[in-house]
Structure 1
Amino acid sequence: MAERPRGGLPDARAPVSTEVVACGALAGHVRDIAARRGWPVAVRSLPALLHNRPQKITESAERAVVCALRSGRAVALAYADCGSYGGLDDLCARYRVRRLPGLHCYDVLAGPERVAAMFAAEPGTYVLTDFLLRSFGRAVLAELGLDTHPELWPDYFGHYRRLVWLAQQPTPALAEQAERVAAMFGLPLTRVEVGVSRLEQELARLVEGIL
């Protein structure tokens, strides 16, 4: 039997028998981690904009899970609960698959205790991630209609008191974007370096158990 490489890209000869159904906000990190670890997995990215309509997350994830299972692949869900209010847990129970722990991807990136403490200190915290910073114009401004109706800003964001950026792989460009977003809110910005190590640890628990 061919030995799986210890790092880098998976062996092209290794059959892909596992699929990770991932939130689009995490899919890039998931692919990078899988390549670095040499996991022979396929990553199916679902639209990150589903977070604006979380009631549709379970429905979309179920279609992807069923498709993967019918193709004979084992499946893992790179989602936390993500506003599904237990819908993804019900999905996991029905199809005997597992998801990432936590209520939100913030819990996966920073740890639930850290996130809980952050909101306890200031309930009016708006959380940014690298992905949200990159897509803020489309995912937030355009989706909420704020690009054409900026007068609605207080209705959506008037109750926030600060911004916290959970920085995974910060760059000068992302830092500048974070400052621009903070200026839109007119609120102070705190940058918290979280990296991707916790995501990698939790993803490994999912994937390595079914490879």
Structure 2
Amino acid sequence: MKRANAEKVQIIACGAIAREILAIRNANGLDHIDLECLPAIWHVHPQKIAPALREKIATARAAGYGRIFIGYAECGTQGEIDRICAEEGIERIAGPHCYAFFSGTEKFLAECENEFTAFYLTDLITRQFEAFVIEPLKLDTHPELRDMVFGNYTKIVYLAQTEDVELQQKARWAADYLGLAYEYRFTGYGDLDPALRRLAPDKTDLG
């Protein structure tokens, strides 16, 4: 085991937010942060997340990282990520899922009380809509399942991290594909931004 370097931070994150983490790190000069990701598609198989996190945490400790941060919300793991964080004495990004922390968790939870028929997209899910929605649900081979799965939804809400015209067009196409209304909301990086900036060695310089 290497000697711990107090300033080095290992983020172990969902691959679905890798772009956003790297963008925040680079924009804020957080060069002491390293990123290790688990497959984004594991959102479809959340039972795989916790065991893999334990392995990555052990590897990070052996490598001498002075601090470890979990780039996951609860993400359907039925409390397993929180149990790991409590046992290991480490933090994770707050919130139940990425839709919440991109929007701002308090804001999202207040809004979703009256928006329970919305299906949410992020940049990543929009970019890979086929791989994350169409193929796992077999809508490409069994289109009749569309109304069975999405019949109780009324709209797609695209929670955009970047202002990308092509992604907006893709999100609108996704709404048409599912037969839903379309709504666009620019969120930026939401709560993820301040959570990562708090990992700076000197917090006072970052406000």
1:61: Cα distance to partner? 1.6
Cross-structure match for 1:164: 157
TM-score between the two structures when normalised by the length of structure 2? 0.88
Cross-structure match for 2:43: 51
In structure 2, what is the Cα distance between the partners aligned to 1:34 and 1:82?
22
Query: Where do 1:91-106 residues align within 5 Å?
Result: 91-106=84-99
Matched, 1:85 2:78: yes
Q: CA RMSD in A?
A: 2.1
1:57: Cα distance to partner? 1.6
Matched, 1:130 2:123: yes
Deviant stretches of 4+, over 6 Å = none
Match of 1:66 among 55, 58, 61: 58
CA deviation string 1:67-102 (max 9, x = no partner): 111111121111111111211010011111110001
Q: Classify 1:115/1:196 alpha carbon distance in 2 versus 1 (closer, same or farther; 3 Å).
A: same
What amino acid maps onto 1:208 in structure 2? A
| Greater Cα offset, 99-108 or 196-205 | 196-205
Matched, 1:19 2:24: no
Matched, 1:147 2:134: no
CA deviation string 1:39-63 (max 9, x = no partner): 2121011111111112222122222
Give unpaired runs (5+ residues) of structure 1.
1-13
In structure 1, what is the Cα distance between the partners aligned to 2:139 and 2:102?
28
1:209: Cα distance to partner? 6.5
In structure 1, what is the Cα distance between the partners aligned to 2:143 and 2:7?
47
Q: Percent identity?
A: 32
SS in 2 for 1:122: coil
| Greater Cα offset, 27-36 or 152-161 | 152-161
1:15: Cα distance to partner? 10
TM-score between the two structures when normalised by the length of structure 1? 0.86
Match of 1:31 among 22, 26, 29: 22
In structure 1, what is the Cα distance between the partners aligned to 2:121 and 2:150?
14
1:144: Cα distance to partner? 2.0
Q: Classify 1:161/1:90 alpha carbon distance in 2 versus 1 (closer, same or farther; 3 Å).
A: same
Cross-structure match for 2:193: 200
Match of 2:171 among 178, 185, 195: 178
Structure number with greater CO (CA < 8 Å, separation at least 6) is: 2
CA contact (8 A) 1:108 1:202 kept: no
